[in-house]
Amino acid sequence: MKLSVVLSTHAAAFQAVAFKGDFEANVARIAGWGYDGVELAVRDPKLVNAGELERVVAANGMVVPAIGTGQAWGEEGLSFTSDDETVRAAAVERISSHVPLAAHLDAIVILGLIRGITPEGQTHERSMEYLVEAIRACASAADGTSVRFALEPMNRYETDLVHTASQGLELIDRVGADNFGL
């Protein structure tokens, strides 16, 4: 079994990140503790140099199994289920922009907090419709690549959308994309 820990590529106010700050020093520290990889928390792939990330990680004998996307929600409020169409579109665009980085690093893209919450005045079913549409669009953006999307389990304090394994499997079936889920 290989073990990884979350590491942000940049400083972040987002609390769910395990390590943030000096990227190179953190990678060396994590490798020294015996981890095999780092799940990179990347708010915006346009702000990172894929080659440099790969160099630092490889120089420490590690891999990047996954890219976390929660900072886009935590730092910017981007959400697949926003009642604002421009916010939803920006969220899809942001996640789609992770595809080249994920392909370069041979990593999966994690969809967790980016799914958002049901805004006041919007039905849960409408939020689920927006969620399905957004994931389909992101999955389509990765067509022709090896990039896969994984649904991150979230608890009821973080979102009202998809908490249980059965709900996750329902969403995977509803989205119907080969590169999302199992």
Residue 14 is predicted with a pLDDT of 58
pLDDT digits (tens, 9 = 90+) for 111-166: 999 999 999 999 999 999 999 999 999 999 999 999 999 999 899 999 999 999 99
Q: According to the 3-state scheme, what is the secondary structure of the chain? A: CCCEEEEECCCCCCCCCCECCCHHHHHHHHHHCCCCEEEEECCCHHHCCHHHHHHHHHHCCCECCEEECCHHHHHHCCCCCCCCHHHHHHHHHHHHCCHHHHHHHCCEEEECHHHCCCCCCCCHHHHHHHHHHHHHHHHHHCCCCCCCEEECCCCCCCCCCCCCHHHHHHHHHHHCCCCECC
> pLDDT band for position 17 (50/70/90)?
low
pLDDT tier for residue 22 given thresholds of 50, 70 and 90: confident
Work out the pLDDT band at 18, boundaries 50, 70, 90. low
Q: What is this structure's pTM?
A: 0.92
Give the span between the Cα atoms of 81 and 77, in whole angstroms.
Answer: 11
pLDDT digits (tens, 9 = 90+) for 45-96: 999 999 999 999 999 999 999 999 999 998 899 999 999 999 999 999 999 9
Q: Please tell me the predicted confidence (pLDDT) of residue 10.
A: 72
What burial class does residue 82 get, using C-beta atoms within 10 Å of its C-beta: 0-12 exposed, 13-18 middle, 19+ buried? Answer: buried
Tokens of 34: 């015996």
